[in-house]
Amino acid sequence: VHPTLAGKKGPEVEPIEVDRVVALRPDAVFLATPNELSASLARPLVDAGIAVVDLSGAFRLKDRDAYPRWYGFHHPHPELLRKAVYGLTEWCPKLRDAGLVANPGCYPTSVLLALRPLERRLLAGAPVICDSKSGVSGAGKRSDLAFSFCELAGNFKAYGVGVHRHEPEMRAELGFPADAPFVFVPHLLPVVRGILSTIHVTFTRPLEAPELLELYETAYGGSPFVHVLPPPELPDLASVVGTPRAEIGFALLQGGRQGVIVSAIDNLLKGAASQAIQNFNRVFGLEETEGLEWN
Amino acid sequence: VHPTLAGKKGPEVEPIEVDRVVALRPDAVFLATPNELSASLARPLVDAGIAVVDLSGAFRLKDRDAYPRWYGFHHPHPELLRKAVYGLTEWCPKLRDAGLVANPGCYPTSVLLALRPLERRLLAGAPVICDSKSGVSGAGKRSDLAFSFCELAGNFKAYGVGVHRHEPEMRAELGFPADAPFVFVPHLLPVVRGILSTIHVTFTRPLEAPELLELYETAYGGSPFVHVLPPPELPDLASVVGTPRAEIGFALLQGGRQGVIVSAIDNLLKGAASQAIQNFNRVFGLEETEGLEWN
Amino acid sequence: VHPTLAGKKGPEVEPIEVDRVVALRPDAVFLATPNELSASLARPLVDAGIAVVDLSGAFRLKDRDAYPRWYGFHHPHPELLRKAVYGLTEWCPKLRDAGLVANPGCYPTSVLLALRPLERRLLAGAPVICDSKSGVSGAGKRSDLAFSFCELAGNFKAYGVGVHRHEPEMRAELGFPADAPFVFVPHLLPVVRGILSTIHVTFTRPLEAPELLELYETAYGGSPFVHVLPPPELPDLASVVGTPRAEIGFALLQGGRQGVIVSAIDNLLKGAASQAIQNFNRVFGLEETEGLEWN
Amino acid sequence: VHPTLAGKKGPEVEPIEVDRVVALRPDAVFLATPNELSASLARPLVDAGIAVVDLSGAFRLKDRDAYPRWYGFHHPHPELLRKAVYGLTEWCPKLRDAGLVANPGCYPTSVLLALRPLERRLLAGAPVICDSKSGVSGAGKRSDLAFSFCELAGNFKAYGVGVHRHEPEMRAELGFPADAPFVFVPHLLPVVRGILSTIHVTFTRPLEAPELLELYETAYGGSPFVHVLPPPELPDLASVVGTPRAEIGFALLQGGRQGVIVSAIDNLLKGAASQAIQNFNRVFGLEETEGLEWN
């Protein structure tokens, strides 16, 4: 499937039943399976004491009632929703020895990394606007006319406004109630990889650039995979695609009352695979950079 | 320069002095020259009673003092700034027999067409967020590393936040004072043509979709080149690139208090050349569609 | 399907039975239907004296026995194969009043326009190599993983070597027997539109550039839609995409014994739709440029 | 310059004089400098007994008289041309302890890997056609309108036919005299990275696929970075971009008398940087895969 990852002979890949995985007694299992399948597979693995890092949406929401609406199925193991820790690595204090990690969605990763350091500075009631743009790989490998080359090359559009399943995930993690003016508009970029979110916020009082920079530096100074850019630098996709890191920059407008935060990640790495490895490392007390070391 | 526009022999193109243009006594002249050059060239043409449609920024701002800051030169003919009419065709009642038309900028065209119908519905003091994305041709033909294929293919970024010269143009046309929370963030898409603006607004009171649709239909029902899409349809670039038209769609959020308006144009046509022809047609009392007739 | 071609209301498109088409007694019908469907539909139309321009492969080969192998079906109306004229407009003397025109394939159009003027100059037995590269629209609108954006962006490959159905079409039109060393290698470019063929030939004797240029000029001097470029100019896709014309250029190597001929067309226009209109014009004795007039 | 290669702080990069390099007594130096600069810099390094791997064209040709014509300068150290070994790793038996390695050009790497195993099978006097297609990064980082996004997106063209400096390099390495019908036509693909060469050859006698496959397997069975694909598989760019490997596949036509060999590499890796590391490893008796180990 991914020939560039293969060596001369390619790896041996074979189908496997969950019972056999349990019998093998691995320390951990990464699930990169469809939402509903992950929801089922995790139970026997967790029961066997195997640490599970799940890359689907099966354990990202705490509210079992949200699953039918946003994911289209009744959760078969709602009791696991409380047990699962939400693995936004830099903001998850409970990863050590966690039995079940819900790896965040790609959009939420890009948005939450930008917003979490600001939470006490956001003017209550003012809209928080997340205008996000994603590469096409976010949709997975699909035989679908809507994702064909001829439809997307040279094109650009917004989609899923108000109905994207990453929105309740972000609201829940940010503690925003359903009636808070939190706006998430995803767009489809004609690129393969990467997410760039442009986030518009209103502050409780005018901020100056050094103050805001310090907020971000305090949050991420010790994080190997979140790079904060001093203004007027702003991230672009080319600086993060192919890497496990997020880049965050910002601009202040209206005398410092309005903020524009720009956050960029590789949706397949920090938005999925490399964050899963960060989480694995943290579960087992390893260095967060283990296996991701070039950075 | 543009071989696809040429026939077998190509057109004869020759340098020409403004004096000779004046001597030829044309009805009208289109200026597609750099800002400072347009500012100079228009004077003798206007004096000779030749209608001028200027595609540069030389006459878009009414305030002479804005030119040094936003355009980097002192306007040589500030007396023409009042005379010039701002040619957002669908919203310009004074085009008939106008002597000097300032053709709008590409970003302002996409934003103003979306916002003008809403003016009385916008909650005072609430931010109006224009998150705009443009193809690379918006930067013109440039031998510049920043616009090279390798820098831009697969890339995406925001730029010019708070310092783009189209921002004062939009503020002035919308009647927003300098301290109004009007936010404009342009982005560079890896496509050649097209602008898509995602505009986030707060309404004075909750609106329902039919009500908002009617506002737009009332504004544009008679306009051949502005197509309003009923929700949940939203425009994409592919539907407008290569055409003289704008497409506008919207979504309502937060029970109708927040609006997401999406507006798409071809930056080189409705954002420049075809709007110039619309304006020319209106100046001379011709059908607005003359010369643009396929639509 | 193609919103940029639609006006504000869009055209009325409705399904129609061939009987009803016959009853309407049109002068001509364009068939842009799948190969096997065209093969059936043409019969009643031709019987009714309606001129048919067929854009499929249903009538491009004269040999009924070739259809099962190359097209996967037995031709239902092999008697029409002789009647059909092969509409490579510039080389088809029998278009006037033709009852059935087989519009050429896109690859053959690009190759034959380059090779037909050279026929008596090609060294017998020396390989004729057609290394052709096509945009993705050549494959049609398809919900197929192989044509998805993520598979094709940044990618390039050869395909169908020795098994592409356009090869027998070219061989037949060039009069090359099955054992002649005629090599056709199609490639898939990561662009939407356009075909560029690089054709490598050996001449019977060394040629000089003016001599070869004159051969092409003689062939195409009167053709509005074939532009011959003097060396060292070579065509590129950008010069032909969106236009009804072919561009042909060449370079001479090895002291004039080897030729590299480069031919470029828009696969959807000269390779399909606009050539169909050229053919229609010629069938009815109209100007070849009618309906294609900007050029 | 390449932010994705940098860590959180970025590496310290500083200008350095060649004298200081010599004084530091490194084992080896990689020169990735312009042709003329490499030609000068190598002398003092070689004199100091430092192994040099040069990625420019300064030492690729053995004939000093070729430099003015193909590279535009008189070689300042022609005595080094004989000393330099041409580092097409898989075909260079003299790398151990070499003092100066000329790293091959990107096009020659893709072509020579495909042709070297065939040399005794090529029909003398029959044309060898190398129809090569390269991504834009092959031109380096350039502020040049010809390499701007708007000129290249959606475009494709041949260039430099008969005048590309990689042609004499290939002829010399293949032992083809100046009048041999060796044709090299480079093209510019609208992708950032990768070269795919389609090579057309005539064999001395008809070959069958297993025979040709064995020729390639014999040549490359022990090479970690050349993958031979069994027919009908052919390489594409996506399988090699981002990797240090070449992929080679083929098709036989005309009863096995004509061969189409397709060769793909990443022009920046096997065509430059990773081949330099292979060569370095071989100079010092290290495993060829050292530092390139994922494969």
- Whether the CB of A154 is below 8 Å from some CB of chain C: the reply is yes
Residue B295 has pLDDT above 60, yes or no: no
Question: Which of D191, D225, D227, D237 is best to mutate for the A interface (most A CBs within 10 A)?
Answer: D227
Tokens of D136: 């834009």
Q: Which amino acid is at A279?
A: N
Q: Considering only CB atoms, which chain B residues are within 8 Å of C239?
A: 3-4
Q: Considering only CB atoms, which chain A residues are within 8 Å of C147?
A: 148-150
Tokens of A215: 């907020």
Give the tens place of pLDDT for each residue, D186-195. Answer: 999 999 999 9
Interface contact A191-B251, CB threshold 8 A: no
C111 and C132 in contact (C-beta within 8 Å)? yes
pLDDT at residue D36, rounded to an integer: 97
The helix (run of H) or strand (run of E) holding residue C278 is: helix C273-283
Nearest C-alpha neighbor of B204 from the set B119, B92, B93, B146: B119
Neighbour tally for D142: CB within 10 Å? 15
Please tell me the distance from the alpha carbon of residue B118 to that of residue B106, in angstroms, as a whole number: 20
| R_g over Cα of chain B | 19
The helix (run of H) or strand (run of E) holding residue C152 is: helix C149-152
Question: Which of B141, B147, B148 is best to mutate for the D interface (most D CBs within 10 A)?
Answer: B148
- The number of angstroms, rounded, from the C-alpha of C72 to the middle of its chain's C-alpha atoms is 21
Does the active-site annotation cover A150? no
* Confidence class for position A10, pLDDT limits 50, 70, 90: low
Interface contact D149-B136, CB threshold 8 A: yes
Neighbour tally for A121: CB within 10 Å? 16
Mean pLDDT of A13-36: 95
Nearest C-alpha neighbor of C110 from the set C247, C276, C274, C273: C247
Catalytic residues of B: 106
Mean pLDDT of chain D: 95
Residue B140 has pLDDT above 90, yes or no: no
Of D142, D154, D190, the CB nearest to B148: D142
- Whether the CB of C154 is below 8 Å from some CB of chain B: the reply is yes
Closest residue in A to D235 (Cα) is: A3
Size of interface A-D (CB pairs under 8 A): 32
- Whether the CB of C33 is below 8 Å from some CB of chain B: the reply is no
- Whether the CB of B2 is below 8 Å from some CB of chain C: the reply is no
pLDDT at residue B10, rounded to an integer: 67
Q: Is A285 left (phi over 0), alpha (psi -120 to 50) or beta?
A: left
Please tell me the distance from the alpha carbon of residue A70 to that of residue A68, in angstroms, as a whole number: 6
- Whether the CB of D148 is below 8 Å from some CB of chain B: the reply is yes
Tokens of C86: 């092969």
How close is the nearest chain B Cα to the Cα of D144, in Å? Answer: 5
Please tell me the distance from the alpha carbon of residue B103 to that of residue D185, in angstroms, as a whole number: 46
Tokens of A50: 């195997």
Interface contact C149-A149, CB threshold 8 A: yes
**Residue C88, beta-bridge partner list:** none
In angstroms, the Cα distances linking A69 to A21, A82, A181, B14, B138 are 32, 19, 20, 65, 42
Q: Considering only CB atoms, which chain B residues are within 8 Å of C224?
A: 8
A51 and A87 in contact (C-beta within 8 Å)? no
Mean pLDDT of chain A: 95
CB neighbour list of residue C201: distance below 8 Å, 6 or more residues apart: C115, C118, C122, C126, C128, C129, C258, C259, C261
Closest residue in C to A188 (Cα) is: C149
Nearest C-alpha neighbor of C176 from the set C80, C112, C81: C112
pLDDT at residue A295, rounded to an integer: 42
- Whether the CB of B116 is below 8 Å from some CB of chain A: the reply is no
Mean pLDDT of chain C: 95
Please tell me the distance from the alpha carbon of residue C171 to that of residue C162, in angstroms, as a whole number: 12
* Confidence class for position C294, pLDDT limits 50, 70, 90: low
- H helices present in D89-184, as ranges: 106-115, 149-152, 166-174
- Whether the CB of D146 is below 8 Å from some CB of chain C: the reply is no
CB neighbour list of residue C248: distance below 8 Å, 6 or more residues apart: C113, C114, C216, C220, C226, C227, C228, C229, C235, C261, C262, C263, C264
Is the torsion defined by CA of A134, A139, A145, A150 positive or negative?
positive
D259 and D212 in contact (C-beta within 8 Å)? yes
- Reply yes or no: is the peptide bond before residue D127 cis, omega within 30 of 0: no
Tokens of B83: 């005379």
Of B127, B157, B236, the CB nearest to A156: B236
- Whether the CB of D8 is below 8 Å from some CB of chain A: the reply is yes
Give the tens place of pLDDT for each residue, B230-272. Answer: 999 999 999 999 999 999 999 999 999 999 999 999 999 999 9
- Whether the CB of C9 is below 8 Å from some CB of chain B: the reply is no
* Confidence class for position D273, pLDDT limits 50, 70, 90: very high
How close is the nearest chain B Cα to the Cα of C101, in Å? Answer: 26
Report strand pairing: C182-188 vs C195-202.
Answer: unpaired
Interface contact D148-B150, CB threshold 8 A: no
Interface contact A3-D239, CB threshold 8 A: yes
- Whether the CB of B210 is below 8 Å from some CB of chain A: the reply is no
Query: CA B131, B217, A155: angle at the middle one, nearest 5?
Result: 40
Of A156, A200, A237, the CB nearest to B183: A200
- Whether the CB of D134 is below 8 Å from some CB of chain B: the reply is no
Give the tens place of pLDDT for each residue, D168-188. Answer: 999 999 999 888 999 999 999
Give the tens place of pLDDT for each residue, C179-220. Answer: 899 999 999 999 999 999 999 999 999 999 999 999 999 999
Mean pLDDT of A49-64: 98
pLDDT at residue D252, rounded to an integer: 98
* Confidence class for position D295, pLDDT limits 50, 70, 90: very low
Residue D218 has pLDDT above 50, yes or no: yes
Mean pLDDT of D89-103: 97
A84 and A56 in contact (C-beta within 8 Å)? no
D278 and D89 in contact (C-beta within 8 Å)? yes
Closest residue in B to D135 (Cα) is: B150
In angstroms, the Cα distances linking C180 to C111, C125, C172 are 16, 7, 11
Q: Considering only CB atoms, which chain A residues are within 8 Å of D224?
A: 8
Interface contact B227-C8, CB threshold 8 A: yes
Please tell me the distance from the alpha carbon of residue D209 to that of residue D211, in angstroms, as a whole number: 5
| Three-class secondary structure assignment of B32-59 | CCCHHHHHHHHHHHHHCCCEEEECCCCC
Interface contact B153-D149, CB threshold 8 A: yes
* Burial class of residue B184 in the structure, from the number of CB atoms within 10 Å of its CB (0-12 exposed, 13-18 middle, 19+ buried): buried
Tokens of B279: 């304006």
Interface contact D4-A242, CB threshold 8 A: yes
Neighbour tally for B225: CB within 10 Å? 25
* Burial class of residue B100 in the structure, from the number of CB atoms within 10 Å of its CB (0-12 exposed, 13-18 middle, 19+ buried): buried
Interface contact B260-A161, CB threshold 8 A: yes
